[in-house]
Amino acid sequence: METATIDPRRDPTRGAEPAVWALVGQTPLIPLESETPKRASGTLFLKAEWMNPGGSVKDRPAREILRAGLAEGFLPTRRLLDASSGNTAVAYAMLGAAAGLGVTVCVPRNASVERFQLLKLYGAEVIESDPLEGSDGAIRLARQLAEASPDRYWYANQYDHPANPESHYRTTGPEIWNDTSGSITHLVAGVGTSGTLMGTGRFLKEMKADIRLIAVEPSEPFHGLEGLKHMATALVPGIYDPSRIDRTIFVETESAEDKVRALAKDQGLFVGWSVGAAVIAAERIIDEAGTGAPGTRPVVVVIAPDGGTRYLSETRRLVPD
């Protein structure tokens, strides 16, 4: 068995967590200006998760999974191992670096250059998986590594770990409820691990049962919406419970790219591809609602997992030469 050196930053006798861990959460809601009079019949907010210290919504579950690994004694004597399309990998690497924890991540080779640069900067061990297999290929590779070296790795498995949705139940849900003063009618989120929608949605439904949970998926198995899964053809996460979802809206990659371009030019918000897809879904909900009486108009909150700066190397998709 490989012996790990216990970093003094992770000395359990000290009790306190690294300071950067405390910065996760409490992200703002940003109202989007309506583009048409019809859309003025509803209110649309972005939950700006790119304002987490690691730059994405995945800081929340990564922190809770790390806490669980420490509490259960798997860390720091082993390296955390997990599969990720990119954002969770960066979150693990950033939070792990602050705590002196070893982090190994399996990431598809076609993840954005920015993600690989951040992982290298934070000192994570990165193992690239087949780009044609997407996040499912990264999952299969992580499983193989965990089985081959159980004394070296603790396989966190964000797709099945209950701390993933629990992190959103404890933080994201209460933040949205408080910041909308309980007026939210719809929560819209893309599904990858599904932890955001499962955990946030569970809290919000407990507060008001008629809040509708809207899942957003790519329209095709092969797509360019990093972080999202086409559930019918993918490895389905263990934490995913379709019975909790009120509706699923499917969005084409090209339409999401158009929306990202429009948000940047019209509202000064440069967001990731999955955010573009979720905004399309949210606008569809508002359009369908029509012009209702005050108090009946939808209040829609979109989880915006990350910002566009994580995709700068891919801006040719938005601004062709």
| Gap between the Cα atoms of 48 and 92, Å rounded | 20
Q: Are 300 and 188 in contact (CB under 8 A)?
A: yes
Catalytic residue among 58, 112, 135, 194: 58
Helix (H) or strand (E) holding 186: strand 186-190
The gap between the terminal CA atoms of the chain, to the nearest Å, is 53
Q: Pick left, alpha or beta for residue 106 (phi over 0 → left; psi -120 to 50 → alpha; otherwise beta).
A: beta
Which distant-in-sequence residues (6+ apart) come within 8 Å of 19 by Cβ?
98
Instruction: Answer for the pair 226, 274: CB distance below 8 angstroms, yes or no.
Output: yes
Active site residue 84: no
> Residue 49 burial by CB count (10 A; 0-12/13-18/19+): exposed, middle or buried?
buried
Which distant-in-sequence residues (6+ apart) come within 8 Å of 53 by Cβ?
Answer: 20, 23, 24, 59, 94
Q: Which of 56, 84, 112, 274 is catalytic?
A: 274
How would DSSP label each residue in 20-82? GGGGSS-PPEEEPPPSSTTGGGSEEEEEEGGGSTTSBTTHHHHHHHHHHHHHTT-TTTSEEEE
CB burial string 50-73: b at 16+ within 10 A, e below: bbbbbbbbbbbbbbbbbbbbbeee
What ranges in 72-190 are assigned the alpha helix state H?
Answer: 87-99, 113-122, 134-148, 163-167, 173-179
Verify whether residue 255 is a known catalytic residue. Answer: no
189 vs 282: CA distance, rounded Å? 9
Tell me which residues are annotated as active site: 58, 274
